[in-house]
Amino acid sequence: MVDAAKITRLLAKVVGPERVSDKDFDLIPYSRDLSPARQKLPTHVVLPQSKEEIQGILRIANQENVPVYVRAGGTSHWDAYLAQEPGIMLDMSRMNRILYINERDLVVTIQPNCTWAKLDRELRKHGLTYLCSEAGGPAMTVGGSVMKAGAGPHSTAKFGCHGDQDVITLEMVLPNGDIVQTGSAAWPSAGKFERQCLGPDLAGMFIGAEGILGICTELTMRIRPATDFKERLIAVMPSLDSVIEFGHFINRNVGDEYLQGIYLWVDPNAPDVFTLMMDIFGYEAEIVEHRKKKLSEEVKKLGGSLGDRGPADDYFGHILTGLTDIFATGVWHFFGAGTLRIDDIKFVYDVWRTELLQKRGYRKAGFGGQVLPRRWLAFMVTNYHEPGDWDELVRMAHEIDEIILAGPVIPYGIGGRDGLRDIVASHDTGYYRLLKTLKRTLDPKNILQRGIFIPEEELQ
């Protein structure tokens, strides 16, 4: 049983009384994310603004055996930060500064809660950009995206998931309060310019772990010159096979892909219509025009037709400027999602069409995909208005997730007990056993993100 008053007093000594609360009216906004996950109320919310304060909070958590959950921008779609047990919610919103832009080495050092919009605005003042964002748009934080190894659709056809290649160094506070640097920052006299340093790639251990192994307090990322050349295309393809062949075509030249972003959409009321929206990348007008010509020729070769680019301009533009009306049609839920080989997207599409549309008669969920280098990120997405739809949606989504993850699909976003946690735990792989060993070693009291990714009983 958490002694709320005692924890409040201890936390107030670290951050001051104005940045900690145990009052219900302060806690309730932290009890839901953007997913249909059940409401989960923390016992405290605390807003640190330095790594030293985070160290102090974690020391209290270890002393009192109280779990700590980490909230960035709050845009999780899979129960990824909610308090699975009564505990402290760490709101990282005050750690949002851009610390240093290195125009010579083309790297930027930021705090984790800097948003993509803030970062892009500042970089463009210097003629630079990061060239990536996610479907949550400018509200998403860079640290949150990296810690979950997030992906596009903006620029991920060329640059992959966040953390694939652009994370240079991380500063992490471990569950016991130790502060570690990864990459060249691990060698204090070297600077921040290289991902690999002093043995294994420790940054890779934290990226995608959803915060269970440490709290990111600073990260350095690769940046690029901005380009003002914008060319978008929309194509309607005649079959999924033609989409697959087009996927191979656009990124067969690995590292020199034709596109920076591509988005596949199939409406449940028109399951044989495959729409592709494309965002073309290039630093020279001649290169952009060449790629546009090649892409257009390939679409026609595969039997597709080109349409008005307006919707593609609108879509990719809003990814960077804000999807302000995204919830006008209800609460969104992504499920049946994961990364897979280009050829295997047919498996996910067949599950969507057979299990949802035909067997269940559910025509509220669309099918989508984003091309990554040499692979796809595929998903099903729906939304709901009425609370009565919740039970049916969660049950159905869990059934679909089990079918999808029994196939050639890597899970995307694990989360807690209302996410994919239990499905992942049921696959007793060597990888999962190693992850549990790392968790026990770095966090013997299971303080950080308790119940996220790994069930509590799995660590006993």
3-state SS record for 297-350: HHHHHCCCEEECCHHHHHHHHHHHHCCCCCCCCCEEEEEEEEEECHHHHHHHHH
Domain interval for residue 155: 98-225
For residue 427, being part of any structural domain is answered with: no
Same domain, 401 and 317: yes
Q: What percent of the chain has pLDDT over 90?
A: 67
Per-residue pLDDT reduced to its tens digit, 116-166: 889 988 999 999 988 666 665 667 899 998 998 887 667 777 888 887 889
For residue 383, being part of any structural domain is answered with: yes
- Cβ–Cβ under 8 Å, residues 277 and 296: no
- Cβ–Cβ under 8 Å, residues 120 and 221: no
For residue 4, being part of any structural domain is answered with: no
374 Cβ contact list (under 8 Å, min separation 6): 251, 254, 341, 342
Give the pTM: 0.93
Token pair recorded at residue 254: 């690995």
Which stretch of 224-238, 383-397, 411-425 has the lowest confidence by average pLDDT? 383-397
Same domain, 219 and 245: no
Closest CA to 266 of 357, 164, 333: 357
Q: Which residues of 371-388 are buried (b: 16+ CB within 10 A; e: fewer)?
A: bbbebbbbbbbbbbeeee
CATH code of residue 375 = 3.40.462.40
Per-residue pLDDT reduced to its tens digit, 10-67: 999 999 999 999 999 999 999 988 778 889 999 999 999 999 999 999 999 999 999 9
Same domain, 305 and 329: yes
For residue 181, being part of any structural domain is answered with: yes
- Cα Rg of the chain (Å, integer): 22
pLDDT tier at 260, thresholds 50, 70, 90:
confident
Q: Which residues of 336-365 are buried (b: 16+ CB within 10 A; e: fewer)?
A: bbbbbebebbebbbebbbebbbeeeebeeb
- Count up the domains in the chain and report the number: 2
Encoded amino acid at 42, one letter: P
Out of 225, 242, 270, a domain closes at 225
- Cβ–Cβ under 8 Å, residues 213 and 201: no
Same domain, 166 and 199: yes
Same domain, 205 and 287: no
Q: Say if residue 400's pLDDT is above 80.
A: yes
Same domain, 270 and 370: yes
Same domain, 283 and 341: yes
User: To 10 degrees, what angle do helices 116-124 and 310-321 make?
Assistant: 100
CATH code of residue 217 = 3.30.465.10
- Residue found under tokens 């709901």: 384
For residue 440, being part of any structural domain is answered with: no
- Per-residue pLDDT, 150: 82
Same domain, 201 and 304: no
Q: Say if residue 328's pLDDT is above 80.
A: no
Out of 411, 434, 451, a domain closes at 411
CA distances (Å), 121 to each of 81, 126, 317, 345, in order?
A: 27, 9, 14, 35
418 Cβ contact list (under 8 Å, min separation 6): 35, 36, 37, 38, 79, 394
Rounded CA-CA distance 249/369 in Å is 16
CA distances (Å), 416 to each of 83, 86, 376, 411, 413, in order?
A: 9, 14, 24, 13, 10
Same domain, 219 and 239: no
Same domain, 235 and 155: no
Out of 168, 190, 225, a domain closes at 225
- Residue found under tokens 């034709």: 258
Same domain, 274 and 380: yes
**Phi, psi angles (nearest 5°) of residue 239:** -160, 165
